[in-house]
Amino acid sequence: MAAPAPHSGPPGAAPPPRVQPRRQPPKQAPPAQQQPTGQPPPATPPPAPLLPAQLIAAIIAALGAALTAAQLVRLLAKIMALAGIGLLALRAVAVLMMSWPPDVLEGTGPAQRHAIRTNVTRRAQFMWSACKRVQAAIAAARSQGTPVLDAIAAALATEKRYMAQHIAASSQRVQASSAVDGAAEAYGNLLGWNSHLDSRTSAGCRLANGKNFYADRPPVVEGAPSLPGAVHPSCRCWPSAPFKGAPVMP
């Protein structure tokens, strides 16, 4: 048994109370920062808007890969949702797109290759525009309390007419580019532009008449790169040997 500790006070005095060492409280982790009560959590920033070029590129890839309307919907559902297109509109347009005849995918000359690239892009642009128009018809039907399926059917009837026009224009571009490539084989890359001049000749074709252009670099006529014979649905222009001293269209 341990002896009591001596004290230095006067005889007979009570020993001073024993002082216990102060214990340090255990260290605690700093409390996590909390949102003030009643304040909503910070909002998640919305995704960046999709650029039109991104949408068209995705549609081109999907149209090239899909064999059925269901596959086309699966490939495009997420990106179309980000662009505000619902599944009802996408499914309706996907079925329509599967009825588009197969495009020519290979060309032998530079003009044909340009026409094929243009056709692929225009097909994707038509699908995107059709999705937006059908989605707008669905939204209008819902806001007016009318049957949505009837609105989709009416919208698709209009889209079929538009699609027929696009298909005809695609075929016209391929035919015109074949004529240009044939002329380039005979006369070289520099060719002349000829327009049938009468009261039905468009302003762009009239301005292009008698000028030169490069077969591998379609000039801009009426706002877009075009070849003779494919400027517009009734285009009657044709290529020939280059005109001596004539300006070259950019």
DSSP 119-161: HHHHHHHHHHHHHHHHHHHHHHHHHHT--HHHHHHHHHHHHHH
Looking at the structure of the chain, the number of domains it has is: 2
**Maximum Cα interatomic distance, the chain, rounded to a whole number of Å:** 139
173 and 203 inside one domain: no
Write down the pLDDT at residue 39.
67
**Tokens read off for 71:** 């596959």
Write down the pLDDT at residue 169.
96
- State the pTM of this model: 0.77
Q: Is 247 inside a domain boundary?
A: no
Q: Is 21 inside a domain boundary?
A: no
Q: Is 221 inside a domain boundary?
A: yes
Write down the pLDDT at residue 102.
86
197 and 172 inside one domain: no
Q: Is 18 inside a domain boundary?
A: no
Write down the pLDDT at residue 16.
55
Write down the pLDDT at residue 56.
97
Q: Which residues pair with 187 in a beta bridge?
A: none
Cβ atoms of 15 and 3 closer than 8 Å:
no
- CA 25, 27, 29, 35 dihedral sign is positive
Q: How many angstroms separate the CA atoms of 96 and 73, rounded?
A: 12
Please give the residue range of the domain that contains residue 138: 52-184
Q: Is 3 inside a domain boundary?
A: no
Cβ atoms of 72 and 138 closer than 8 Å:
no
Residue 42 corresponds to which amino acid? P
Q: Which residues pair with 220 in a beta bridge?
A: 225
- Alpha-carbon dihedral angle through residues 115, 117, 119, 121, given to the nearest 10 degrees: -150
176 and 196 inside one domain: no
Run of H or E residues at 53: helix 52-65
Q: What is the pLDDT along the chain (250 residues), one digit of tens a residue?
A: 455 555 554 555 555 556 555 666 566 655 555 555 566 666 666 666 778 899 999 999 999 999 999 999 999 999 999 999 999 999 999 999 999 998 777 778 999 999 999 999 999 999 999 999 999 999 999 999 999 999 999 999 999 999 999 999 999 999 999 999 999 999 999 999 999 999 999 999 999 999 999 999 999 999 999 999 999 999 999 999 999 999 999 9
Q: Is 107 inside a domain boundary?
A: yes
Q: Indicate the residue among 184, 199, 221 that finishes a domain.
A: 184
Write down the pLDDT at residue 42.
66
Q: At what angle do helices 69-82 and 52-65 cross, to 10 degrees?
A: 170
